[in-house]
Chain A
Amino acid sequence: MPSIPVSASSPPLLRAEGLVVHFHTRDGVVRAVDGVDFEVGRGETLGIVGESGSGKTISSLALLRLVPPPARIEAGRVLFEGEDLLALPETAMTRVRGRRISMIFQNPATSLNPILSVGAQLSEILVWHGMATKREAPERIAELLRLVGLTDPAARLRQYPHELSGGMRQRVGIARALLCDPSLVLADEPTTALDVTIQAQILDLLAELRARLGMSMVLVTHDMGVVARMADRITVMYAGRVCESGSARTIFHSPQHPYTRALLDSMPRLDRSYRSGGRQLLPAIAGRPPGLLNPPAGCRFAARCPEATAECRRVLPVQVAVGPDHMVACLRRGSQGMAA
């Protein structure tokens, strides 16, 4: 496990502070992301984990101001290499997207343009960002396709997405993200659409690229196995809020937030027998995540939490440090309350 120590004094590559994203629907305001903070150090992989509706994907899209309507970024700052991305004019933002921060998408089948050859759509990006002329582009692209493990890159340039398998398409998607030497790569469920053996290959590739290029990455996923394998640090989200963040080892070995603990306990495990000594059940979390149209007043997890008190249902916990590089938002772990 490569883990790059992040020295406390050097500023992080990216820091999101107090991010708030609301969906303005006809039924009212859905508070999809409600005051979220996280940071990514240089050369570091931050895993953002959560279930669907936890706000993990919207948070990552908000970094690039790409939240889809009717969502709107209502508040917060995204400090990246010394500037607040949320305060930049839109024209400056287009120079950040794809060039300084790039994305790897979940579904390689739909994130590539079906009517353009691989070479054409990749060179378009290079030329648009002024990184290469049309003449130079194929060479640079071929080099990247080789880097992501595609054999015979010259031939691949002329192929269309439908001629590639799912795993190869995702490799092209990764090459596309790396085209302009970005400082940060956002990967939203990059392996969820793939079979496990192909997922393993892609994860290996990402790990190798990270080691070779010193790539910084935000990895958004619901798969605890994938974050355990890839992330240096982890931020756990639940219902639009951050529950807990810390180093991967801390999150898996000494989780403090009741949600993190319950989630890890509730997953069936490959390396455990459920048949020896009578039939066993999983310690499931009862209930389901709250709706965010009118979220509960206090801690979002209170209704499902075994440790919740009356206070938990009334006030919203803010994150508190419970150890080195370990923050938890739970009143039962010493968090301050914030009247909702």
Chain B
Amino acid sequence: MSTAGPLLQVEKLSKHYSVGSRGLFRRSGGTIRAVDDVSFHLRVGETLGLVGESGCGKTTTARSILHLVQPTGGTVRFEGEDILPVFAAGARPDVLRIRSRLQYVFQDPTLALNPRWTIGETLREPLRIHWPGRRDQWEARIAELLGLVGLEPQHAWRYPHEFSGGQRQRVGIARALAVEPRLLILDEPVSSLDISVRAQILNLLVSLQQRLGLGYLYISHDLASVRFVSSHVAVMYLGKLVEMAEVDAIFARPRHHYTRALLSAIPVPDPDSTQPRIALQGEVPSALRRPAGCPFHPRCPAARTVCREVEPRLEEDEFGHRLACHNPA
């Protein structure tokens, strides 16, 4: 690829849902800003870890990029091309050109594989769609893909339910790799797997990235795996990006109070740990009742008056550390 710019560039992406306003008996309504003004970019060979708790908008961000949901605003440039209008226009050759290079790996491989298809049929589908003229290569490609993710060629004849969770996720990864993508969006790819199998899949992802030069957008709430996989990390809270930096910087020196609390909340596998805990009060407010000012201020230990009134903007410091906070640590 000759593109010099970033592989993926997301600018001011927003996805708003209006709720409750329709219907005869429900009068309370409002707008849920599931994703609000999110911008980030990702280069070839990099992994951006997108983290946050449930409802923070990380999955909606991914689904918006893939046009599985239609974003309300913003642009997504993939290899320099503005892709959201292409999806919206729906011209098949253009859509296929983008889909083949931008693939998704789902959280639960049990749900993400058609239960009535053999693994071979599942892997044949992308080839049938994208390589219709190379029919003679399909079977060989399937065998190659299975090898790539550490499965045996004869597994092509098996059904998903005959596999363990880890093997199914390997199939999900193989399907995503089938037509040689440039970017994989990985949505919690290991969180449904057993602990002794997670490391295998995480290693597989890292080796595949090195071998094939892929970019990853890695979405997870499991920060330890994010630290292992990612080169950069972006933290989301209530639809907003609150902090973004290079991976070791964010784990060693988190500056946003939410990131700090999130990191300190994770129990460390060491009974003698003296890890300081920043206990957060209360829970994430409903996206319908998003606080004014900084969305985190009601739970923030360092909130000041300005935090209640002015929404902080995501700004970059001299080390490339981006942060949306009036009173950072």
Contacts and interface: CB of A to CB of B under 8 A. Distances in A.
A–B proximity contact (CB within 8 A): yes
Given A228-B269, A252-B270, A288-B196, A270 B203 contact: no
Contact of A273 (B166, B197, B248): B248
A51 interface: yes
B280 A289 contact: no
B203 A272 contact: no
Given A225-B267, A285-B199, A270 B280 contact: no
Interface stretch (B3-11, B83-91, B108-116, B222-230): B222-230
B269 A289 contact: no
Contacts of B194: 51-53, 222, 288-289
B161 interface: no
Nearest to A224: B269
Contacts of B262: 196-197
Interface residues on B, range: 35 or more
Given A228-B268, A284-B203, A268 B280 contact: no
Contacts of A267: 195, 198-199, 224, 269
A2 B231 CA distance: 38
A289 B196 CA distance: 9
A268 B197 contact: no
A198 B282 CA distance: 8
Given A52-B194, A203-B267, A282 B202 contact: yes
Nearest to A201: B279
Interface in B233-256: 247-248, 251-252
Interface string B45-58: 00000000110000
Interface in A210-241: 222-226, 228-229, 231
Max count, chain A CB within 10 A of own CB: residue among B53, B265, B272: B265
B261 interface: yes
B166 A288 contact: yes
Contacts of A284: 199-200, 202-203
A155 interface: no
A51 B196 contact: yes
Interface in A244-303: 248-249, 252-253, 262-264, 266-276, 279, 281-286, 288-289
A195 B54 contact: yes
A314 B197 CA distance: 25
Nearest to B163: A288
Nearest to A251: B271
Contacts of A276: 248
Contacts of B247: 273, 275
A196 B279 CA distance: 11
Contact of B263 (A165, A270, A289): A270
Contacts of A285: 196, 199-200
Nearest to A283: B199
A260 to B, nearest CB: 11
A172 to B, nearest CB: 14
B206 interface: yes
Contacts of A228: 267-271, 273
B277 interface: yes
Given A197-B280, A249-B272, A288-B166, A270 B196 contact: no
Contacts of A198: 283
Contacts of A108: none
Nearest to A200: B265
A199 B283 CA distance: 11
A281 B206 CA distance: 8
B266 interface: yes
B327 interface: no
A53 B193 CA distance: 12
A203 B275 CA distance: 15
Contact of A268 (B202, B207, B252, B272): B202
Contacts of B277: 200
A266 B202 CA distance: 10
B272 A1 contact: yes
Given A51-B194, A52-B194, A197-B53, A268 B268 contact: no
Nearest to A265: B199
Interface in B283-307: 283-284
Given A268-B227, A269-B224, A197 B261 contact: yes
A167 interface: yes
A195 B284 contact: yes
A204 interface: yes
A226 B267 contact: yes
Contacts of A223: 267
A200 B268 CA distance: 11
Contact of B228 (A1, A204, A224, A274): A274
Contacts of A279: 206, 210
B271 A270 contact: no
11 contacts: A52-B194, A165-B283, A228-B268, A266-B195, A266-B196, A269-B227, A273-B251, A275-B231, A283-B199, A284-B202, A289-B196
